[in-house]
Structure 1
Amino acid sequence: MSRSLLRDYAGSLRSPEFWIYATWLELVTKYRRSRLGLFWAFLPSLLYTFGVGWFFAILQGYDALEFIPHMGLGYVFFRLVTVSLSEAGTACAGHASFILDGRVRLTDYILRVVAKALFYTLLATPVIGVALALSPDFQAVGLLLLVPALLVVLANIAWMGAIVAVLGARLPDVNQLVGSILMFAFLFTPILWRADQIPAGSLRGSIARVNPLFHLVEIVRAPLLGEPIEKLTYAYLAIMLVVGWAAAILVYRRFARYVPIWV
């Protein structure tokens, strides 16, 4: 029997106990073994935002207080996408016991890895808040656009995660492939550099803007720092949502029923 991606996501959202509470319990249990606890989850954002951000600001001749929030926001939201997709590749295999027991709504496992990435993002909020408070470019009005922009990012993660999860259940190498692609994409995402360094009309700018993560990061960060969002970003993300969800629905309907056999 074929499964519906939209119906399964709706069912998962109506019953969040498994993928929210269980994920939070997993993280708390994991870090409880350490004396510093959740501080270890907080530390990478602190180091990247103020450590790496300060270093690359000096390296490129930018004002540190201007570049640090650029770096911090870019890193945090890039990590939200990459953690979700890299762990989605092993989501089904990692929950094989649940699937073999008859819990075949795969969106529960996809949302579990997305929830984990979101918790890490929430833990980075104090760091980003300090960086923005110190920034001369911070635009408070951008906070009004933060939730809609984040929903666009999560909507794209949802369809990409569904494809990666189903393919990853059949082909274990998909997880390694996705990880390699995301590592390569980091260099073409404006995190260590700024988008205005390579304008859209240039060859390098055109190559960078083929990268979906370029637009997923910019849609969230640009309003907060008073930077314009390119028209290409709106068009790119709209096409991604339409084409991506159509592809994910087809893949899920065709192959999700085979996942219990594959795992």
Structure 2
Amino acid sequence: MSAPTALADVPGPALDPPKSFRRAFTDLKAGLRARELWANLAWQDIKQRYRRSTIGPLWISIGMAVTALALGLVNAALFGTSISTLLPSITTGLILWSFINGCIVEGSETFIANEGLIKQLPAPVSVYAFRTVWRQALYLAHNLVVYVLVLLIFLGSLNHPYHVIDRPGALLHPGLGWSMLLALPALALVVLNGTWVVLLFGVVATRFRDIPPVIQSFITMLFYATPIMWPMDQVRSMQSGGSGFGAVAVQVLQLNPVYHFVEIVRAPLVGQAQSWTHWAVAGGVTVVGWALALLVLRNYRSRVSYWV
């Protein structure tokens, strides 16, 4: 049999070169089909963390509630505003930040942390990324209990138009309504972006071990540069009041992609006004991020097992 005939008999995927987008997509599809594996591994991670604890994963919700309450009380006193409108915003922001922070920080070490499994278990690379994202999604689900409690307590202050801060030029928010449903596709978009973050940062950090410490150094700065524990309305009121600093601050914040992802989820959940600019930026980041992740997966997927 001649060489061309022999190659023609080989199945299509086997003819793909080692570095091909088809192999990258095949890895992602195989990872999704193995959802029972990574879902169980993620749940075991949570059970292991709270082993021998009386209330187990409920500590996730308790920790979030205590942090949100402390920050809400402090910031309400600092900004001179009502905690009934500020605390729901801070709580929702902290819940979303917890997920984003987990995808960035733990995602950069996802393959390093799974070294033993990668060397022993013949599984797609994406399985370990999905494990990390699903674990963070479970944390997010636990923390949403805190949001529901805060919403029930302060519903009377949020179900009609309100100001977060009592200052001239402060934005009047429409209050809770059917726009809350926008939080569902927004959450799905955040999780989708968390997946490419874990894949991209995980592969790069596996090759360059200085990346995780660098991320740890800058993640706190990113937290303070995102309107989570302070209201964006404070900056907007400074801008409308003619403050040059307020105008510059707004422009700088527009460059922070985390701000836009937080806003597309938080705004509908607490009845705040939302700009479609946030959706446009989040959509653009999604496309660019996944393009980079697929490129890295295409070129270096097969090297991960050698780098760990």
Q: Which residues of 2 match residues 104-119 of structure 1 at below 5 A?
A: 104-119=123-138
Deviations 1:145-199 (A, max 9, x none): 2210101111111112111010111112211222222211111111111222223
Residues 1:249 and 2:294 are matched in the alignment: yes
Partner of 2:234: 197
The question of whether the paired residues in 1 share the 8 Å contact of 2:72 and 2:87 is answered with yes
| 2:19 alignment partner AA | S
The question of whether the paired residues in 1 share the 8 Å contact of 2:103 and 2:198 is answered with yes
Using the TM superposition, give the Cα deviation of residue 104 of structure 1 relative to its aligned residue in structure 2, in angstroms. Answer: 4.7
Provide the alpha-carbon RMSD of the alignment: 1.8
Residues 1:179 and 2:233 are matched in the alignment: no
- Out of 226, 229, 232, the residue aligned to residue 277 of structure 2 is 232
Residues 1:134 and 2:171 are matched in the alignment: no
- Out of 45, 68, 85, the residue aligned to residue 104 of structure 2 is 85
Q: Distance in 1 between matches of 2:40 and 2:233?
A: 41
Report the CA distance shift for 1:137/1:7 in structure 2 as closer, same or farther (over 3 A): farther
Q: Which residues of 2 match residues 214-233 of structure 1 at below 5 A?
A: 214-233=259-278
Using the TM superposition, give the Cα deviation of residue 134 of structure 1 relative to its aligned residue in structure 2, in angstroms. Answer: 2.4
Q: Distance in 2 between matches of 1:225 and 1:31?
A: 31
- Structure 2: which 5+ runs fail to align? 1-17, 160-175, 240-245
Using the TM superposition, give the Cα deviation of residue 239 of structure 1 relative to its aligned residue in structure 2, in angstroms. Answer: 1.2
Residues 1:163 and 2:182 are matched in the alignment: no
Looking at CA atoms only, which structure, 1 or 2, has the larger radius of gyration? 2
Partner of 1:145: 182
> What is the SS of the residue equivalent to 1:89?
helix
- Identity of paired residues, percent? 27
- Structure 1: which 5+ runs fail to align? none
The question of whether the paired residues in 2 share the 8 Å contact of 1:84 and 1:161 is answered with yes
- Out of 72, 77, 92, the residue aligned to residue 58 of structure 1 is 77
TM-score (ref. length: structure 2): 0.80
Using the TM superposition, give the Cα deviation of residue 140 of structure 1 relative to its aligned residue in structure 2, in angstroms. Answer: 4.6
Partner of 1:154: 191
Q: Distance in 1 between matches of 2:223 and 2:211?
A: 18
Q: Distance in 1 between matches of 2:260 and 2:102?
A: 17
The question of whether the paired residues in 2 share the 8 Å contact of 1:19 and 1:109 is answered with yes
The question of whether the paired residues in 2 share the 8 Å contact of 1:81 and 1:157 is answered with yes
Partner of 2:303: 258
Using the TM superposition, give the Cα deviation of residue 129 of structure 1 relative to its aligned residue in structure 2, in angstroms. Answer: 0.4
Higher relative contact order (CA 8 A, sep 6+): 1
Number of equivalent positions:
263
Partner of 2:164: none
Partner of 1:120: 139
- Out of 49, 64, 74, the residue aligned to residue 30 of structure 1 is 49
| 1:137 alignment partner AA | L
Q: Distance in 1 between matches of 2:26 and 2:81?
A: 48
Using the TM superposition, give the Cα deviation of residue 25 of structure 1 relative to its aligned residue in structure 2, in angstroms. Answer: 2.1
TM-score (ref. length: structure 1): 0.93
